[in-house]
Chains A and B, each alone.
Chain A
């Protein structure tokens, strides 16, 4: 093995994306999340997200909620939780200029959910990152070779940059090229509109391993015209050859021992992670296993493992999988089982089968000989076992299995018609202290695209049925006779109708008196949406309509917003070669579709923003203004009435500049005011301001500085804090040792002192040692610490 820390090319790309220009949100208070890190966020390009966690033993799952400025709803995706990090790659088609708004939902082992930033949605605002536009200049100046992430043999390595499509005012000869921080501009050959650098002509300039390429292009006046970054890998020829032949494989094993001490309670974690990737021709094999001392049969699964195989037409994954179907039915939920897809283009089929919840028994709080009515946590229990027939309990969780299948026709480029069926059922025998449930969802979806994707129409519709108690199973004929027998002994006509219904639906699910929805004629379990996108004359117009009945539910999707319908319209206008973006959006939604509430609430949102991406020596800038108005359809103020309006103004600046050395700076300011005219009178004001500067002193030393100021006043209750973070990273011993130190004190209503030390040492060519120590104190609480040691071995 000649390459350090080589994983797979895909994993390498994700890691590089996260390392090149990470946007990290450290400066939010949270007892669970220590940082959220994004890769460079460019429109249309996949965005990698990593959430670093504390107190992992208390976490069941982590879900990322995100939306573009013009989206009506947050998309929620479960993240892949391994060790103390949760990761997700957001598909490129979901990343749009100018901002991505997000928050994180952490489900704890207690069942409680907490958000990051803490307090969202009632006590905090979601966070934003800037999404920059893909420049026309990216098409004008092209790195022909090596391709991003490509593995090339060191002795044949060459870098080629094409200026064929560059305008006349670009001066090719002035181009500055840096390979791993070394200026190689004068070593490159200029052949017309092509620049070529042959590594073989300059021995020692390029070394094996990861290669960072920075290119800066200048115009004829010497002004910076464009900057390009790229990454690839180089390996010695014999190693490259071994990779290029037959079955290619790469693997690594990581062992971690970590101690977390919170509030005086210390917990040791011992984790083992193994990754293996292989390929044979078109076929790729990927496997991973994460085994942890936290695995406990009394908790949801903590171990993670999967093996997957795929090529251009088949994908199959066994173990912990995150299948995606139309998002109203199932979208990235963890399934322990089998997921796969056959993708032939004209016909495709996706399917998944497995467990989405492990059975965890509840506990008895109190038993009763009789009760007036069953409650949410007052249920019937086995009187022989518990002494009484009723009990108040801590509800358990049933072992829940899901099966979903989606045949579809068409490749999806211009046409695709799909049909989805999902069935989820609790295993009645897995626990005692709860009520087992069942759910089926059937849906269809369609995509049409015309005129080279300038016109796109997408729609999906689903209907759900659920049964809230399948303990007694489906009605038998005798049950029906008993149920519909009149006093005179005759059977009423409804019996035959119910029998027909039972015979029809009974093939799919349990049919008894607990089946829902109770009002299907009001479309209460219908979920539907349609969207039209038009892209003409530098405008991207999008209009969508959503409808979700109050009783629509899918056990495959925990986060669908129910009881809502309405329209969303937005227009994004691109000006001056994608340097200026204007966005206008309007949305009006309402609830109470089935008139199950006392009054209807309307939700009106208006978004507007202007972004400027000069791509030269000037900051990227986005200014945004949004208004959220919620109100009822009646004037009378009552206990349940809603009447509030929130105005939010935000500005985001980011600037990469050279002042003696290279700096990446960003500045965010956001202020919002909620005027609540309801009886609750929950007026609120939030202001947050953050500034960060990352400075790269040389190829070995980098420093980080950030300052956050947060001020809120909710129902006249003020809360203010200031947080300062500073740190640095230094590489030494021929890059074998990397030391990083971060210090983060905060002042005001949130007083915390935090110290982080991370040391990485490459003990042998394939063996890396990572040591992490985090120490922090919160005013009024005992000191907390995390210390861990990780060994990583690449095979």
Chain B
């Protein structure tokens, strides 16, 4: 019961934060929360759920409430504008970026709607850095890891540092070298990161591309693509 209350509190606080941030968005604050550092293939973005998806370009700033979507075999590197961390958005993912700059401190709360992201976040002082998924809230303080979201589970791998996890039924800390599997009920199962999970995590760290050049009658066709696991990098 206590855990349930904790989770409900965390969700309410997150929602309040998002609501507050959204509300404050109406006030004039031109400072972007993040920017797109690198794009591979099909990456689009939109400003809020009502907006239309537009092609993202390298260096494009992302304001509070904007969303980033990656397509098949695509990748986006997202950099927070306070220099606190980097997110690697893997293929077929949708990421919502929220942030609030109060007293020169940028609180970040990133909602992963679906897909997989890798992150590398520096030690936070007073700022918040949270990842929210449909079943869990992960609080980050100087951590590297990855989060994968499917319709039924959230898988969080902590490579180094510590991640605080709260769900509707549980809460706990995830240290480096461990992986948490969270089901729809909010049950957390923490295990040593297996070789397969490590490989999945490593995949989120890939940021480079392969190029195939095909000589055709019309000229050279270049195909720039994000390599599948084990074939690139």
Contacts and interface: CB of A to CB of B under 8 A. Distances in A.
Contacts of B106: 164
Interface stretch (A36-44, A55-63, A202-210, A238-246): A238-246
B209 A196 contact: no
Given A191-B30, A191-B31, A245-B232, A198 B59 contact: yes
Contacts of A167: 104
Contact of B81 (A158, A164, A246, A282): A164
B82 interface: yes
Interface string B197-213: 00000000000111100
Nearest to B29: A192
A246 B232 CA distance: 6
A142 to B, nearest CB: 4
Nearest to B231: A246
B48 to A, nearest CB: 18
Contact of B35 (A144, A165, A244, A280): A144
A503 interface: no
Contacts of B79: 144-145, 160
B30 A192 contact: yes
A156 interface: yes
Given A156-B59, A164-B101, A142 B82 contact: yes
B82 A196 contact: no
Contact of A245 (B59, B61, B209): B209
Contacts of B211: 241-242, 245
A595 B161 CA distance: 51
A755 B233 CA distance: 50
B83 A194 contact: no
B210 A193 contact: no
A194 B31 contact: yes
A282 B105 CA distance: 34
Given A162-B81, A162-B82, A193 B35 contact: no
A166 B104 contact: yes
B150 interface: no
A121 interface: no
Interface SS of chain B: loop
B58 interface: yes
Contacts of B81: 144, 160, 162, 164, 193-194
Contacts of B61: 191, 194, 196
Contacts of B224: 241
B32 interface: yes
Interface in B89-121: 101, 104-106
Interface string B8-52: 000000000000000000000111100101100000000000000
Contacts of A191: 30-32, 61
A265 B38 CA distance: 59
A281 interface: yes
Contacts of B232: 245-246, 281
A166 B81 CA distance: 12
A158 B58 contact: yes
Interface in A145-172: 145, 156, 158, 160, 162, 164-167
A281 B231 CA distance: 10
Contact of B208 (A140, A145, A244): A244
B146 to A, nearest CB: 16
Most B-side CB within 10 Å, residue of A142, A196, A244: A244
Nearest to B209: A244
Contacts of B35: 144-145, 160, 194, 196
A736 B75 CA distance: 39
A164 B79 CA distance: 13
B125 to A, nearest CB: 10
A213 B58 CA distance: 20
Nearest to B99: A164
Interface residues of B, number: 27
A164 B37 contact: no
B85 to A, nearest CB: 11
A156 B101 contact: no
Nearest to B177: A345
Contacts of A245: 208-211, 232
Contacts of A164: 31, 81-82, 101, 104, 106
A164 B176 CA distance: 30
Nearest to A248: B208
A351 B165 CA distance: 40
Contacts of A194: 31-32, 35, 61, 81
A192 B106 CA distance: 13
A166 B224 CA distance: 39
A345 B211 CA distance: 36
A345 B177 CA distance: 10
Contacts of A282: 233
Contacts of A246: 210, 232
B30 to A, nearest CB: 4
A19 to B, nearest CB: 25
Interface in A337-360: 345
A617 B83 CA distance: 27
Contacts of A192: 29-32
Interface string B158-189: 00000000000000000011000000000000
Interface in B203-233: 208-211, 224, 232-233
A565 to B, nearest CB: 39
Interface string A419-457: 000000000000000000000000000000000000000
A462 to B, nearest CB: 31
Interface string A239-282: 00110111000000000000000000000000000000000111
Contacts of B105: 165
Nearest to B101: A164
Contacts of B82: 142, 162, 164-165
B22 to A, nearest CB: 17
A723 B88 CA distance: 57
Contacts of A242: 211
Contacts of A160: 35, 59, 79, 81
Contacts of B58: 156, 158
Nearest to A245: B210
B121 to A, nearest CB: 14
A152 to B, nearest CB: 9
A145 B32 CA distance: 14
A160 B37 CA distance: 10
Contacts of B38: 156
A223 B5 CA distance: 53
A162 B30 contact: no
B82 to A, nearest CB: 5
Contacts of B29: 192
A192 B32 CA distance: 7
A193 B101 contact: yes
Contacts of A142: 82-83
A145 B31 contact: no
Contacts of B233: 280-282
A167 B105 CA distance: 11
Nearest to A244: B208
Nearest to B206: A281
A700 B224 CA distance: 39
Nearest to A346: B177
A241 B213 CA distance: 11
A161 to B, nearest CB: 10
Nearest to A452: B123
What are the nearest 9 A-B pairs in CB distance?
A: A192-B31, A158-B59, A192-B30, A142-B83, A281-B233, A156-B58, A193-B31, A244-B208, A165-B104
12 contacts: A140-B104, A142-B83, A145-B59, A158-B58, A160-B59, A164-B81, A164-B101, A165-B105, A166-B104, A191-B61, A244-B209, A245-B210
Interface of B: 29-32, 35, 37-38, 58-59, 61, 79, 81-83, 101, 104-106, 176-177, 208-211, 224, 232-233
Given A160-B35, A244-B208, 17 more contacts: A144-B35, A144-B83, A145-B37, A145-B59, A162-B82, A164-B81, A164-B106, A166-B104, A193-B31, A193-B101, A194-B31, A194-B32, A194-B35, A194-B81, A245-B211, A245-B232, A281-B233
